[in-house]
């Protein structure tokens, strides 16, 4: 079975559909995302559909409603970037800031404007 994720305008997954493999085969006998998208729209499931993998063999993870499709990296991830400057680490599937957070016991908050960490709690707990 072929699986497809429906995306909204912000590339957030809103639905998942399962289609028989033979429905999405092209003339050479290979699966076609375009044919799958056209098929789903033709049966009234209108929208933008992106093929996904139930066992996560391509496009990162198996999506679920509420997760995000990163078109730049062609993969599904748990959420959109928390800040425009953060980059997706494809190994850990997590967003990382351009500057590493200080490794101490203090509390920091990311500041996008200054592109750095701001100390929130100047007193460490004892």
- Given a cut of 80, whether residue 102 has pLDDT beyond it is yes
Residue 124 has pLDDT above 70, yes or no: no
Confidence band for 24, pLDDT divided at 50, 70 and 90:
very high
pTM attached to this predicted model: 0.71
Give the model confidence (pLDDT) of 30-88 as tens digits: 999 999 999 999 999 999 999 999 998 999 889 999 999 999 889 999 887 889 999 98
Average of pLDDT values for 101-124?
Answer: 89
Predicted pLDDT of residue 27: 92
- What's the pLDDT at 125? 60
- Surface-to-core class of residue 81, CB atoms within 10 Å of its CB (0-12 exposed, 13-18 middle, 19+ buried): middle
Structure token pair of residue 8: 């909204």
pLDDT digits (tens, 9 = 90+) for 4-23: 999 999 999 999 999 999 99
| Structural contact between residues 15 and 31, judged by C-beta atoms closer than 8 angstroms | no
Cα 66 to Cα 13, 32, 58, 63, 78: the distances in Å are 5, 25, 19, 8, 8
DSSP, collapsed to helix, strand or coil, labels residue 88 as strand
Q: Give the pLDDT confidence score for residue 80 in this predicted structure.
A: 77
């Amino acid at each position: 079975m072929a699986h497809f994720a429906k995306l909204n305008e912000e590339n957030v997954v809103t639905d998942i559909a399962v289609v028989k493999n033979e429905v999405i085969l092209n003339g050479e006998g290979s699966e076609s995302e375009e044919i799958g998208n056209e098929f789903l729209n033709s049966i009234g499931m209108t929208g933008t559909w992106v093929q996904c993998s139930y066992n996560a063999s391509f496009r990162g993870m198996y999506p679920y409603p509420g997760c995000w499709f990163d078109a730049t990296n062609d993969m599904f991830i748990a959420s959109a970037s928390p800040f425009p400057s953060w980059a997706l680490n494809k190994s850990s599937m997590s967003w990382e800031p351009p500057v590493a957070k200080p490794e101490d016991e203090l509390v920091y908050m990311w500041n996008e404007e200054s592109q750095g960490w701001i100390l929130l709690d100047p007193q460490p707990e004892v």
